[in-house]
Structure 1
């Protein structure tokens, strides 16, 4: 069987990164002023990391915010006047998300493959500029059918963002630096939702009617324009891989240091993989139980998380019991969910930071899932008290820590299989978005709002199934194959072992018959 050689497995406890020599004369000379007063910058490794944190990381974080804003702008516009202006009286909102999700799911893998032929410094900004233009011109849409088409192509272009940016983080930051940077990027979607609510609320108050355009139309114009500008900046900031970077903000010495950092941690730069090697790896993945257990856990956890996706519709429709009038203004409807988003950021980052410190992975998945079940059970019963409903809705925001925890656990279980880790995560994201494209059509129908008699019970069931599989992984798989994190697929029942491999002159992984 054809196999690629796996990276050397690290020890159970992360080792401290090796500090490079601090007497790099050229870099010390370049930063002599700052290094004279701040000892931290006397280490060239720290200087490179600081540059990445001040240029690349902010760009990635803002790109995550704008992706969420552009992706969710249609929902925000829907409850801010678009529904009435365009006469959307059916399940058009569900179809807006469905067309986006279908395109997103289909083009995740092809988009990643594009980056083996095109530099990320060209492909990522191009995709961002294109989807920014699509978002901007949504303001001119007069029918739901036009928005369906725009949303589909928006999904195609957006498919490159999450996996592409995650790959950049994994390429430029070393293992001891990854957790914090990944957490910052992962909460960018929540920050984007918060920012979107603030922007739409202000546009509704200050821009509604300006130049004959409604506030929701200005949302598409402004959000798209910011995205286009960010894409143009990306042409200057995105640095490709340390193996072939052309970033103008990195000196020749810093480019060399970036390659040395990868070598010290046994991280290989991006390489082309022959189809026969990829095919052999896919066969291994598809027949290994860990793939299906992880896919089931992560997908069901993500699908359960949709329980709070339609809080805007509830807030828009809730009325005062005494007067029968809407309880909240449109301005308040856009602002109230911000508290939930803030709670989600704090709990997600805080709980997973504690999980890193304590070594908790499956424990966080189980506890978060149990709390989510409680919240969904309350919503499924649909109490008469508005306060209780709001409490349950906000409780669902505090249960998102399980997603990053399960990804971190997979990374530990597959630390000897970096290629498999990437393939499984990509496959899982595709399955998640297939679910996002289809499940809401029958489960979260707008016509079932706000009680969702199918949606809330099903969300609780997804969490319960996810917990069950996590416990199966912990008490069957981990105990049965304790050597799996160290040797990878060699620990499986199939008796698969790594075969020899070589790297050709073009950096292509070439496997041989074992």
Structure 2
């Protein structure tokens, strides 16, 4: 219910933006739009963590990520078409039609989500899944050693939150993802660069329609590299390798943009390549989910924390790094994002070092010594609160079997 409600709410806010009489109204609508939409991305990632095994995660997260990119491609094409064909229709400007159509589509998707969002395998009530399919989903995750989300007592949640706040993996992931996301902010100004290109006579090389169309090539490249490299990540289990490689390639592109070559075609080429180097985040998320396979609550909360930090950076960093007065060279922005790329690589290597020294984290989660708490009759109250419900058993039976295996 939560995800569909959020999606419908922000869809309505988008739709009614077309009627905004002034900038203050738009500011208010955008505030609430951000409030509702901010919950969507981490919630969907949490769903993916609950339904796919570690060997399947990276490409699934990549597919979800590139859906956003495909949406941006569609929106760019739609924006260009509306500007060309519907500007002035029924007394509305092209940009107003853009908000109407985007909002209506989002509301429709929100209505559909009421019957398509499956929750967790432990408590799913999805109408399109049979009981055998629900049991199979629980068995798949259990056989992979992954705990899925379920209702837990408040005391257990508080305990997990305390451990999450002080645990190193939280900050390794948070800062590696945030630095990478901030580094990729650099290609957000590609459109402004296209608008700034002038010919010898001082006229714009690309008109408004072309400016809306040209970035679509970058989005297409991003889709191909995201799915391809993260398929490789799942196949070979190359988590840190794909993530670090993508960050390093992005750093090279940014270093070229820092130098700002005299030929605008070279700048265009490396601007486009920055889209193709955005494939590391799904592998990074899959890596974090593997390490925290026993901690479903921590996985979800850490992703939400990371999104919050990233949005704060996106809202504040450009105020100094990508000022309009500095366009299109951005003497602060490009060096800063290059530094962010170096930082994310270093933090990820630190995460690799920590992971190799603490393999018990993936095996036991936040409680590496659970076996010491198992009583002689096989009961374990901590496990009763923390373990995933296995197919065909209740919580007590699952804990008893686990204790016997120990």
TM-score range, shorter chain: 0.7 to 0.9
**Does residue 290 of structure 1 match 2:169?**
yes
In 2: Cα distance, 1:240 partner to 1:484 partner: 26
CA deviation vs aligned residue, 1:142-167 (integer Å, no higher than 9, x gap): 32222111110001111221122223
**Does residue 380 of structure 1 match 2:258?**
yes
The 5 Å alignment of 1:280-319 reads 280-319=159-198
**Does residue 147 of structure 1 match 2:26?**
yes
The 5 Å alignment of 1:82-231 reads 122-175=1-54, 177-231=56-110
Q: Which residue of 2 aligns with 1:390?
A: 268
Q: Which residue of 1 aligns with 2:348?
A: 470
CA deviation vs aligned residue, 1:92-129 (integer Å, no higher than 9, x gap): xxxxxxxxxxxxxxxxxxxxxxxxxxxxxx22222211
Please report the RMSD computed on the Cα atoms of aligned residues, expressed in angstroms: 2.7
For structure 2, the 5+ residue unaligned runs are 374-379, 390-394, 397-406
In 1: Cα distance, 2:169 partner to 2:214 partner: 40
What number of residue pairs does the alignment pair up?
A: 382
In 2: Cα distance, 1:240 partner to 1:143 partner: 40
In 1: Cα distance, 2:286 partner to 2:137 partner: 24
Classify 1:265/1:125 alpha carbon distance in 2 versus 1 (closer, same or farther; 3 Å): same
- Aligned 8 A contact 1:369 1:399 in 2: yes
Task: Give the Å deviation of 1:177.
Answer: 4.7
Classify 1:365/1:265 alpha carbon distance in 2 versus 1 (closer, same or farther; 3 Å): closer
Q: Structure 2-normalised TM-score?
A: 0.85
Q: Which residue of 2 aligns with 1:345?
A: 223
Classify 1:167/1:489 alpha carbon distance in 2 versus 1 (closer, same or farther; 3 Å): closer
- Aligned 8 A contact 2:42 2:303 in 1: no
In 2: Cα distance, 1:357 partner to 1:244 partner: 30
Q: Structure 1-normalised TM-score?
A: 0.68
CA deviation vs aligned residue, 1:406-434 (integer Å, no higher than 9, x gap): 11222222234333333322222221112
The 5 Å alignment of 1:226-237 reads 226-237=105-116
Task: Give the Å deviation of 1:311.
Answer: 0.8
In 1: Cα distance, 2:57 partner to 2:258 partner: 39
Q: Select between 276-285 and 399-408 the one with higher mean Cα deviation.
A: 276-285
**Partner SS for 1:384:** coil
- Aligned 8 A contact 2:149 2:296 in 1: no
Q: Which residue of 2 aligns with 1:413?
A: 291
CA deviation vs aligned residue, 1:167-213 (integer Å, no higher than 9, x gap): 33333445555444332212111111111111111111111111111
